[in-house]
């Protein structure tokens, strides 16, 4: 079965690798990246359609959703892979007034998913959130301080955002699985990419070191894991509402993942911050 697939963070890293691996599959690929040049190159390699958006600007996300609507016409959307993200440096607010890590990794994909939700429901589609083991190692989410004004570090901001990815997948499952939507979050392995290049975190040193080159997963393997979720059949290949460590269903999660009140509070707060109805 051919699918219509949106992959964010597709200009580089595992998003680009997954797109290239899907190139001969017959699927329609809508590839989203911040760099028009790099995203266009991946689209040229794969036969996909290049779309540009900077997730540090929520107006870009709204425009992106509108562009996808225009391209799809009356068609539904089978897969939304929320793969864009990163770990950043100092606590510098975006033009929208939010800490960059939580906006790029969570608020922007939360907004995009909700704007595309009617199409996903029409196709009984799937939302795939690229999370990280960092959600368990560093996350300590306070819904009343998503911007980490009180306790900022690059690692905590990243852990909180990746924890939000897991909680968002669970909330999508709770709210919409009965209507046919599936959602999952996964850790792709600690992949050898440049995602920490702008970070002040110690992770940047690991990623650039000789040791890092030895222990980190290759981009192609990380891309193949993302592809496995994209092409899989929900509740057969993988279970909706769950968290996976690579391709393995995992219960090694941050304890906050199992707090439904926190998941609901995060949904309500996220909706408020991006300006959409919370229901």
CA distance 150 to 268: 21
Under 8 Å between Cβ of 183 and 73: no
Q: Return the half-sphere exposure (C-beta side, CA atoms, 13 A cut-off) of residue 8.
A: 28
Under 8 Å between Cβ of 102 and 161: yes
CA distance 132 to 151: 21
CA distance 203 to 208: 9
Encode 183-211 in three state secondary structure: EEEEECCCECCCCCCCCCCHHHHHHHCHH
Cα–Cα distances (Å) from 192 to 35, 36, 79, 80, 92, in that order, read 20, 23, 25, 23, 25
Q: Which residues are catalytic?
A: 158
Number of Cβ within a 10 Å radius of residue 194: 12
Backbone angles phi, psi at 6, to 5 degrees: -105, 125
Sheet holding 49-52, edge to edge: 49-52, 28-33, 4-7, 79-82, 126-130, 182-187, 243-245, 248-249
Closest CA to 217 of 132, 152, 115: 132
Under 8 Å between Cβ of 203 and 155: yes
């Amino acid at each position: 079965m051919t699918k219509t697939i949106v992959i964010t963070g597709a200009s580089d890293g595992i998003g680009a690798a997954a797109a290239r691996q899907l190139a001969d599959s017959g699927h329609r690929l809508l590839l989203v990246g911040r760099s028009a040049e790099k995203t266009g190159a991946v689209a040229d390699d794969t036969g996909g359609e290049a779309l540009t958006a900077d997730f540090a600007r929520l107006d870009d996300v709204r425009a992106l959703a509108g562009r996808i609507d225009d391209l799809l016409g009356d068609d539904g959307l089978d897969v939304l892979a929320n793969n864009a993200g990163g770990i950043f440096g100092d606590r510098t607010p975006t033009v929208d007034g939010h800490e960059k890590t939580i906006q790029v990794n969570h608020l922007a994909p939360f907004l995009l998913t909700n704007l595309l939700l009617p199409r996903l429901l029409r196709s009984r589609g799937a939302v795939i959130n690229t999370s990280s083991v960092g959600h368990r190692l560093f996350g300590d989410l306070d819904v009343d301080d998503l911007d980490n004004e009180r306790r900022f570090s690059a690692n905590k901001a990243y852990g909180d955002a990746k924890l939000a990815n897991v909680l968002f997948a669970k909330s999508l499952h709770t709210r919409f699985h009965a209507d046919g939507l599936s959602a999952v979050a996964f850790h792709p392995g600690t992949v050898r990419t440049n995602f920490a290049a702008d970070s002040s975190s110690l992770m940047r040193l690991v990623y650039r070191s000789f040791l890092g080159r030895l222990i980190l997963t290759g981009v192609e393997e990380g891309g193949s894991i993302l592809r496995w979720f994209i092409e899989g059949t929900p509740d057969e290949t993988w279970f909706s509402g769950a968290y996976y460590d690579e391709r393995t269903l995992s219960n090694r999660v941050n304890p906050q993942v199992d707090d439904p009140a926190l998941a609901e509070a995060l949904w309500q707060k996220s909706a408020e911050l991006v300006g959409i109805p919370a229901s």
